Amino acid sequence: MAQIDSSYTHRDGETRGIGYRRWVIAQATLTACLKVKGMRWVVWSCWIYAFLQGIFLFGFGQLMDQDSAVYAFITENLGFFKVIGPMFQGWAEENPRIAIGMTYNLFFYIFTGAIVSSLTLSLVALGMAIPRLITSDLSSRAITIYSSKAVSRFDYCLGKFGGVLLLLTLTWLGPTLVTWMMGNLMAPKISFFWHTAPALLHSVAFVGSGMVILGLMALGVSAMTSSPRTATSIWVGVLLLGVVLSGIGMGSKNYWLQYLSFWFDLELLQRWIFDIGGDFRELDTEFPGITEGGLFQQMKNRLAVTANNVAAAISCLSLLGGAALLTLYKKVKPE
């Protein structure tokens, strides 16, 4: 009698397609990233920051309602608002696109791309996650196991890219969307939704583009080496080099090296999408002198002294993404 049962047993389970395998890789990548020490603190910091932004937008919206407790508190404790408050409300009712729309556009321009923003926190999160993306698989030769499971190199990389996008959704896109929703749900008028819709579209366009570029960069850096420390060092070096090149070129419209900084290229892309320069020109036309002080003046100075060739910036970002894809093609392959 045979000691091994060689009878056939038909599998009645659900058939999983290649899309499910890609999703499993993406989910496993996100899980591995979130297990990195300190990662959850970074993610929570992004959401706390978004919550604070939502509180600010709530306060801004309440300035449009004379019957709100916030408006009463501000006018009672800040004397000059007793005169400015009613004037601002009257002006906002006549010019909602400027008073509400442009304010939100400027706010989300700062929130999604300034130095102290969810973008900076997202770069920190990516730096912490770099060793868990492809580096760890290269060191453990896990790519061989993936290949044995009928997962191609393309599917593997696509799954890893999906994991990076999920992480950036937690740290960048998600907080941005929630901040916009909080500001509008707590606004005194439903008209806030369509007055602030351009700011939302601009934010999604910029953040979405940035997620693709940064995701490819992170995968490319992670695929360069099987050493976690080396991969992290390369990522930090790329960030610092971008800061240095952008800083050196500040004050010159013709200094071409600044285009080699992905920081600067992302900034130009953001300016083009949000059209901050156009907002300033319209404000100067409608209200001469209103942009000649404070934050407005600082931003105008930045626009005036730096290069503004968006085509060159997009080309450099595309080349950067292409270099990352080439690195993946060369480094990620079954043995």
- Measured between alpha carbons, how far is 242 from 236 in angstroms, rounded to an integer? 10
What is the average pLDDT across 287-312?
Answer: 67
What DSSP string runs through 14-70? PPP-HHHHHHHHHHHHHHHHHTSTTHHHHHHHHHHHHHHHHHHHHHHHHTT-TTSHH
Question: Which of 180-194, 231-245, 317-331 tops mean pLDDT?
Answer: 317-331
Determine the pLDDT at residue 1. 46
> Using CB atoms within 10 A of its CB, is residue 33 exposed (0-12), middle (13-18) or buried (19+)?
buried
pLDDT confidence of residue 147? 59
Range of weakest confidence among 145-149, 185-189, 203-207, 313-317: 145-149
Q: Could you read off the pLDDT of 194-248 as tens digits, one per residue?
A: 888 888 999 999 999 999 999 999 999 988 888 888 888 988 888 888 777 776 6
The answer on pLDDT for 2 being more than 60 is: no
Kindly report, residue by residue over 46-86, the tens digit of the pLDDT.
Answer: 999 889 888 888 877 777 766 666 666 666 666 555 555 56
8 pLDDT band (50/70/90 cuts)?
low
pLDDT of residue 61: 76
Joined tokens for residue 36: 């990195």
Instruction: Report the C-alpha gap between 76 and 223 in whole angstroms.
Output: 59
> Regarding predicted confidence, which is higher, 152 or 30?
30
Range of weakest confidence among 79-83, 247-251, 306-310, 320-324: 79-83
- Reported as a pLDDT band with limits 50, 70 and 90, residue 116 is low
Q: Where are the domains of the chain?
A: 28-36+125-172+193-331
pLDDT at residue 80, rounded to an integer: 54
What's the pLDDT at 111?
Answer: 84
- pTM for the model: 0.83
Residues above pLDDT 70, as percent of the chain: 72
**Angle, helix 153-168 to helix 118-130, in steps of 10 degrees:** 140
> Which residue do the tokens 């999906």 mark?
162
Task: Work out the mean pLDDT of the chain and round it to a whole number.
Answer: 79
| pLDDT at residue 170 is higher than 70 | yes
pLDDT score, position 86: 60
pLDDT reading at 124 higher than 70: yes
